């Protein structure tokens, strides 16, 4: 696990100095802080390694305005979907809408994936899809989820090796709560199958956000 770099008081002061006086040499920074050049070495190393400062030979240190945001990007891009995903909650195509609603409560999830006999993804139903059917006059004990589900190829999916950032982008752009995590494999000629291996939801992402905040 990576750590977000928290700057100590002296490092914050060095940043201020370089922001206002850069390019500036290590000696001059040491003079302003009234410490020896050697004492500053570890702090300057942290600041250059984490991208806040750039060290140019014979010129000195300059401030990189996007250093902190680069650091955040670097940290976020290290997380893969497979690191934070949950188990997928799946039902078969013939499952009734009633049973799908029961599954939603029992499994404490908001989205259910619909799979065929081989566990290949064929559809997805959200809580509002299910809620909508209960407003009409359909017999939810008889009607299968396959009638109301969003079908392939209209399902937005993620792969385990995708970065979490890529998954978040899809969730935001397509305005959905969850993505099935799939493994693509070629079956019969011309068949492109997606085996469901997990799910990534807004909850997983919120949890990661909190974990990072307390690192
Ligand atoms: P809800 O509408 O219950 O708040 P969503 O916003 O996730 O939940 O779903 C909105 C619509 O998009 C629903 O009709 C659902 O079937 C569909 N949907 C949900 N997830 C996906 C997905 N990953 N890919 C494509 N469609 C989806």
Q: What ranges in 50-193 are assigned the alpha helix state H? A: 67-76, 81-84, 97-106, 127-135, 164-174
Output the pLDDT for position 68: 66
pLDDT of 135 higher than 70: yes
Same domain for 30 and 102, yes or no, is: no
CATH code of the domain covering residue 61: 1.10.10.10
Instruction: Give yes or no: residues 156 and 176 share one domain.
Output: yes
Residues 115 and 144 in one domain: yes
What local confidence, expressed as pLDDT, does residue 71 receive?
Answer: 73
Report the CATH number that the domain containing residue 155 is assigned in CATH. 3.10.580.10
Task: Read off the pLDDT of residues 153-197 as tens digits, 9 standing for 90 and up.
Answer: 999 999 999 999 999 999 999 999 999 999 998 777 667 789 999
> Which structure tokens are listed for 204?
């997983």
Are 158 and 181 in contact by the 8 Å Cβ rule? The answer is yes
44 and 73, same structural domain? yes
Regarding the beta carbon of 121 and ligand 1, being less than 6 Å apart is answered no
What pLDDT score was predicted for residue 105? 96
Ligand 1 within 6 A of CB of 196: no
Taking only the tens place, the pLDDT of each residue in 60-94 is 999 987 766 777 778 888 999 999 999 999 999 99
**CA 130 to ligand 1: nearest atom:** 3
The per-residue pLDDT for 60 is 93
d(CA 41, CA 56): 15
Give this prediction's pTM: 0.75
Residue 75 C-alpha to ligand 1 middle, in angstroms? 29
Determine which residue's CA is closest to atom 26 belonging to ligand 1: 155
Co-location of 104 and 74 in the same domain:
no
pLDDT at 2: 42
Instruction: Report the nearest-CA residue for atom 12 of ligand 1.
Output: 176
Q: Which residue has the higher pLDDT, 33 or 72?
A: 33
214 pLDDT band (50/70/90 cuts)? confident
Determine the pLDDT at residue 1.
Answer: 37
Whether the CB of 54 sits within 6 Å of ligand 1: no
Give me the number of domains the chain comprises: 2
Whether 86 contacts 201, CB under 8 Å: yes
CA distance 193 to 184: 6
Minimum CA distance residue for ligand 1 atom 10: 176
Is any atom of ligand 1 closer than 6 Å to the C-beta of 152?
Answer: no
Does residue 133 have its Cβ closer than 6 Å to ligand 1?
A: no
Contact 181, 88 (CB under 8 A): yes
Of the chain, the end-to-end C-alpha distance in Å amounts to 9
């Amino acid at each position: 696990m990576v750590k977000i770099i928290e700057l100590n008081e002296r490092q914050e002061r060095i940043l201020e100095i370089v922001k206002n006086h850069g390019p500036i040499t290590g000696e001059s920074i040491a003079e302003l802080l009234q410490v020896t050049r050697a004492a500053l070495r570890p702090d300057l190393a942290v600041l250059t390694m984490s991208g806040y400062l750039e060290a140019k030979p014979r010129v000195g240190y300059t401030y990189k305005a996007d250093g902190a945001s680069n650091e955040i990007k670097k940290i976020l891009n290290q997380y893969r979907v497979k690191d934070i995903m949950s188990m997928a909650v799946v039902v078969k195509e013939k499952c009734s809408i009633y049973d799908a609603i029961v599954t939603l409560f029992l499994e404490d999830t908001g989205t259910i994936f619909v799979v065929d006999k081989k566990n290949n993804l064929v559809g997805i139903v959200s809580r509002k899809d299910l809620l909508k059917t209960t407003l009409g006059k359909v017999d939810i004990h008889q009607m299968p989820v396959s009638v109301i589900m969003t079908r392939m190829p209209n399902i937005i999916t993620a792969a385990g090796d995708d970065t979490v950032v890529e998954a978040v982008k899809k969730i935001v752009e397509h305005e959905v709560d969850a993505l099935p995590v799939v493994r693509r494999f070629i079956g019969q000629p011309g068949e492109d199958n997606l085996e469901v291996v997990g799910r990534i939801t807004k909850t997983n992402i919120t949890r990661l956000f909190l974990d990072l905040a307390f690192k």
